[in-house]
Amino acid sequence: MWEEKYETMERSELGQLQLERLQSVVNRVYRNVKFYNEKFRELKISPEDIKSLDDLRKLPFTTKEDLRRNYPYGMFAVPLRDIVRIHSSSGTTGKTTVVGYTKNDLELWSNLVARIMVAAGVTKDDIIQISFGYGLFTGGFGLHYGAEKIGATVIPISSGNTDRQIMIMQDYHTTVLVSTPSYALVIADRIEELGIDPQSLSLRIGLFGAEPWSEAMRQEIEAKLKIDAYDNYGLSEIIGPGVAGECEMKNGMHIAEDHFLVEIIDPETGEPLPPGEEGELVITTLTKEALPLIRYRTRDITRLHYEKCGCGRTTARMERVKGRTDDMLIVRGVNVFPSQIEEVLFNIEGTEPHYQIIVDREGRLDTLTVLVEVSPKIFSDEMKRQKQIIEEIEEKLYSVLGLKVRVKLVEPKTLQRFEGKAKRVIDKRRL
Ligand code: DLL
């Protein structure tokens, strides 16, 4: 473990540490961030009211909208001269938000990423190819500094140019691939297409994150690249990657709870839910200096588990993210997460792991169409076989979603590929 003392802390001791840190951060935002100062006054609360961790629920939520309203630097808790780095969120759901780091924040970030890397079995002997975009996105730089921290060899290749990725992987003997899961699949497909035997590569571990992916997709990537694939989670507003990551048990992502206080709430009512219930993840940063956030609503849907893990860590584990409250589709009143469709598709023989979901409206009725690539063999097969596959997918989707979905098979390699986060849903109702 990278920071065993904190990763295996007795939960009562951890609670004490969290409370001290919570009191300190609440004090800091009250004094240094106008937004929080006003909010606290409005709600008639003062930092002294936080006497236990349960008092957290007295504090207001922070939303992405709040960050947007205070764009670009309004939420910073330190003067700009103490900020040494700026990143921003990917802006997939609107105007980007700006995040800042002090020197200490960068040090913390590197250590948190080192934790998730070590948890996945990465060591200083590894050669790590970072195929996340570098730049304003936190993926590239975040994983980069964590990898250097543990003393591994870093190849900062960034995303894109798949053939070059593969050439470097072969020539430089890459042992760890870091990217989005969808880009890992693109690389895996290309390796197959080029007739390269994945066993001839030195790859052994994949660290994937930044977008939702299913268990079936993990198995697909592991089989194609002959590696162990681990999930890791984070978001720019909170720090970037390093918030949580899987250990070798692959049984949920360990959250760095000594730095992040987590809750699950009902996204409709905002009420905290008991452990194990599914809902929206809410995070309070306990130690960040530049941009401390109180009860930040991530919009990510997951569950938390608190039992001790087989690896010995005592920190809470979050389940793989099911989706975001804002990419949940409501089709004829039924809630649909793209990840549910993915799970079905990946378990069907003859389909490729590339798909697109199209929501439209015909008259007053919403329609859901799923385009799925099939293997070249199926595509050239007789109509009967294709019809069977369509029926099989439609039936399985109906049983999972309770919704009639139209399935169309498309030729291999016709759907768009992604080097960063995949965009699989086209909602024509809003266009
Ligand atoms: O995606 C940070 C990151 C980079 C995490 C590299 C992991 C690896 P943002 O661009 O701000 O930051 O996007 C954050 O991405 O709220 C989730 O909706 C989604 N997300 C991130 N990791 C996962 C994951 C980075 N492992 C948003 N599973 C988050 C599912 C994820 N969704």
Which pLDDT value is given to residue 90? 66
Residues 6+ apart with CB under 8 A from 144: 130, 134, 154, 156
Kindly give the number of the ligand 1 atom that is closest to the alpha carbon of 92.
Answer: 10
- Res 159: pLDDT: 94
Q: Is the CB of 241 under 6 A from ligand 1?
A: yes
Ligand 1 pocket residue status of 147, Cβ below 6 Å: no
Nearest CA to ligand 1 atom 1: 210
Assessment of whether the complete model's pTM goes beyond 0.85: yes
- Determine whether the shortest distance from the Cβ of 321 to ligand 1 is under 6 A: yes
pLDDT value, residue 141: 98
What is the predicted pLDDT for the residue at 92? 59
Domain 1-324, classified CATH 3.40.50.12780, yes or no:
yes
Structure confidence at residue 91 (pLDDT): 63
d(CA 21, CA 13): 12
User: What is the secondary structure of 101-158 as a DSSP string?
Assistant: E-HHHHHHHHHHHHHHHHHTT--TT-EEEE-SPPSSSHHHHHHHHHHHHTT-EEE---
CA 202 to ligand 1 centroid distance, Å = 27
Strands (E), 333-389: 334-336, 351-362, 365-374
Question: How much of the chain is helix, strand and coil, in % rounded to 5?
Answer: 35, 25, 40
Mutate to test the pocket of ligand 1, among 246, 255, 300, 326 (most ligand atoms within 8 A of CB): 300
**Ligand 1 atom at minimal distance to the Cα of residue 89:** 11
Domain chopping of the chain, boundaries: 1-324, 329-430
> Rounded to an integer, what distance in angstroms lies between the CA atom of residue 75 and that of residue 358?
37
How many other C-beta atoms can be found within 10 angstroms of the C-beta atom of residue 189? 18
Give yes or no for residue 245 CB within 6 A of ligand 1: no
Question: Three-state SS for 209?
Answer: strand
- Is 356 near ligand 1, meaning CB less than 6 Å away? no
Residues of the chain with pLDDT under 50: none
Position 253, amino acid: M
Q: Is the dihedral of CA 50, 54, 57, 58 positive or negative?
A: negative
Q: Same topology for domains 1-324 and 329-430, yes or no?
A: no
How far apart (Å, rounded) are the C-alpha atoms in residues 425 and 40? Answer: 39
Which ligand 1 atom is at minimum distance from the Cα of 212? 30
| pLDDT score, position 378 | 87
Q: Which atom of ligand 1 is nearest to the CA of 324?
A: 18
Give, using CA atoms, the residue closest to atom 15 of ligand 1.
Answer: 210
Q: How far apart are CA 206 and CA 400, in angstroms?
A: 29
> Hey, what are 65's tokens?
């909208």
CATH topology of domain 329-430: GMP Synthetase; Chain A, domain 3 (3.30.300)
Residues 430 and 67: their CA atoms lie apart, in Å, by: 25
pLDDT computed for residue 215 by the predictor: 93
